[in-house]
Amino acid sequence: MKDKTTEIFRNAPVPKAVLSNIIPSIISMLMVLAYNLADTFFIGQTKNALMVAAVSIATPAFLLFMAVGMLFGIGGTSLISRMLGEGKGERAKNASAFCFWTGLSIGIISMILIWIFAEPVCRLIGASDDTLEYTVQYLTIVAGGIPFLIVSNSFSNIIRAEGHANKAMAGMIIGNLLNIVLDPVMILGFGWNVAGAAIATVLGNVFASAFYIIHLLSKNSSLSIRPQDYKARERIALGVFAIGIPASLNSVLMSVSNIVINNMMMKHGDMAVAGLGVAMKINMIAVMLLIGVGTGIQPLLGYCYGARNRERYIAVLKFSMLFALGLSIVMTAICYCGAGPLVNAFLEDADAYSYGIAFARIYIYSGPILGQLFVLINAIQSTGAALPSLILSISRQGLLYLPIVLTLNAVLNTPESLAAAQPITDYLATALAAVLFIFTYKKYFKSFPKETAK
């Protein structure tokens, strides 16, 4: 497909091509981060640490919903960018329509199930007698926005595959900015507390979804969500799921790992759970920015791979790795040195604050290598390498994290040791990602020409 939207993928200088894709992605992640921090911040202004704990406890269930969006978003982006690189525009339309309608259907079913089983789900994910009412209230309302959450998370990624990084960013900004503006109004102004936070979240996702749908129905988009373009056969469903399932498994396992650590941390009290939840939010400052680098370059790498342009692929990867390393170091310093005032912005309870600052500094120990990890993950996904993607996805928050946190809990059984499980896991996951990328490169690029035109 040779049009203006993919021109930058093909011919722009590597630094310009990379930065023009990752900067909108980073801005999008900043908006997601701001929304996550705003929820916790304004709930914290109620001076009720149990409400802060409830929102933290509900996060794993929310991550499960987002995992479905990740399945179609990352899987669809990988497949569509390669199709566009190969010049298969019509099949790209079939793939985007498949992602939209299948994701929407799953969202509606999930919404109904959560409404039916809200209380047992909240018990399962770690709600105590003191936090149960708040957690059920938050999760029940958020469930009403699951279909919109899946659509917005899917197409904030997929639209980047057609070269519309700024459109993808705009949708994220609209949804998250609306959420941030509504949070203080609904939480504090109306006095709706956790219900206000949940309503703001739902409305943010509704408006973001509407923005993407309007774009996809316009003449500016080379993709489609028209029912008549829906097609699952001809390796479309397989192509989406091959990369999407491993990517979503990472979110699912992240949710599971959060449930596990919340239940373990609950033995040390609700204030430890509240401190852990805030520490995770602060760690997200670095994590979300670095995820933005990785997801931003994936469509560009996928296009280069689909066009069989080895030289440009490697040049993009090298520049991205260097950029991610520099950003990682800067964000580590900011999050470590600023842990005190950042935690204080969310928690006033002395015990919760003490836990929060200790956990925040432990979590950021893995900051220097996180950028490399997310770039390598997306580089592997960009090739459509299903097995390496699967291995990496089930390892970071599953095969690596769970044994580490269970061992630390059994041997040391301290709140700090539980928090240390994540940075230990991240270093091991980065080493594994490097090995898997080398394997992927040798296998998937062996038939490519050694020199290709830029």
Tens of pLDDT, residues 340-391 = 888 888 777 788 888 999 999 999 999 999 999 999 999 998 888 888 888 8
Mean pLDDT, the chain, rounded, equals 87
> What band does 451 get if pLDDT is binned at 50, 70 and 90?
low
Distance CA 342, CA 40 (A): 12
Q: What is the pLDDT of residue 2?
A: 44
Q: Which of 322, 454, 294 is nearest to 380 (CA)?
A: 294
- Which band of pLDDT confidence, cut at 50, 70 and 90, is reported for residue 277? confident
Which range of residues forms the domain containing residue 22?
A: 15-444
Question: Contact at 8 Å (CB) between 254 and 84?
Answer: no
Phi and psi dihedrals of 3, rounded to 5? -140, 180
- Whether pLDDT at 86 is above 90: no
Question: Would you say residue 304 lies in a domain?
Answer: yes
The confidence score (pLDDT) of residue 453 equals: 40
Q: How far is CA 340 from CA 12, 51, 280, 292, in A?
A: 43, 21, 14, 25
User: At 144, is the secondary structure helix, strand, or coil?
Assistant: coil
Look at residue 146 in the predicted model and tell me its pLDDT: 93
Output the CA torsion 83→321→342→422 (10° steps). Answer: 80
Q: Give yes or no for residue 250 having a pLDDT over 90.
A: no
Q: Answer yes or no: is 333 within a domain.
A: yes
d(CA 265, CA 83): 46
Min mean pLDDT across 3-12, 148-157, 322-331, 370-379 is at 3-12
CB 182 within 8 A of CB 199: yes
**pLDDT attached to residue 361:** 94
At residue 162 the predicted structure's pLDDT band, cuts being 50, 70 and 90, is: confident
What pLDDT does 245 receive? 87
452 in a structural domain = no
Q: Is residue 453 part of a domain?
A: no
Tens-place pLDDT, residues 312-341: 999 999 999 999 999 999 999 998 998 888
With cut-offs at 50, 70 and 90, classify the pLDDT of residue 1: very low
Phi-psi region of 191 (alpha: psi -120 to 50; beta: other; left: phi over 0): left
DSSP 218: S
Count how many domains the chain has.
Answer: 1
| C-beta atoms surrounding 330 within 10 Å | 13
**Tokens describing residue 375:** 């770039």
Confidence of residue 454 (pLDDT cuts 50, 70, 90): very low
Give me the percent of the chain exceeding a pLDDT of 90: 43
Residue 176's pLDDT band, with cuts at 50, 70 and 90, is confident
The answer as to whether 343 is a domain residue is: yes
User: How confident is residue 3, by pLDDT bands cut at 50, 70 and 90?
Assistant: low
| pLDDT tens-place string over residues 419-442 | 999 999 999 999 999 999 999 998
Distance CA 45, CA 188 (A): 8
Least confident residue range of 111-115, 161-165, 323-327, 434-438: 161-165
pLDDT, average across residues 13-40: 84
**Least confident among 147-156, 195-204, 261-270, 370-379:** 261-270
Contacts 24+ apart (CB under 8 A), 206-211: 206/145, 206/148, 207/174, 207/175, 207/178, 208/148, 208/152, 208/156, 208/171, 208/172, 208/174, 208/175, 208/176, 209/148, 209/151, 209/152, 209/155, 209/175, 211/170, 211/171, 211/174, 211/175
| Sequence-separated (6 or more) residues with CB below 8 Å from residue 385 | 440, 443, 444
Q: Is residue 5 part of a domain?
A: no
Task: Show contacts of 339-345: CB within 8 Å, 24+ apart.
Answer: 339/282, 339/364, 342/282, 342/285, 343/275, 343/278, 343/279, 343/282, 345/41, 345/44
Q: Is residue 102 part of a domain?
A: yes
Of 355 and 41, more confident: 355
Residue type for position 183: D
Helix (H, G, I), strand (E, B) or coil at 161: helix
Handedness of CA 26, 31, 36, 41 (dihedral sign): positive
pLDDT in the model for residue 346: 77
In this structure, is residue 4 part of a structural domain?
Answer: no
Q: 412 Cβ partners below 8 Å, 6+ apart?
A: none
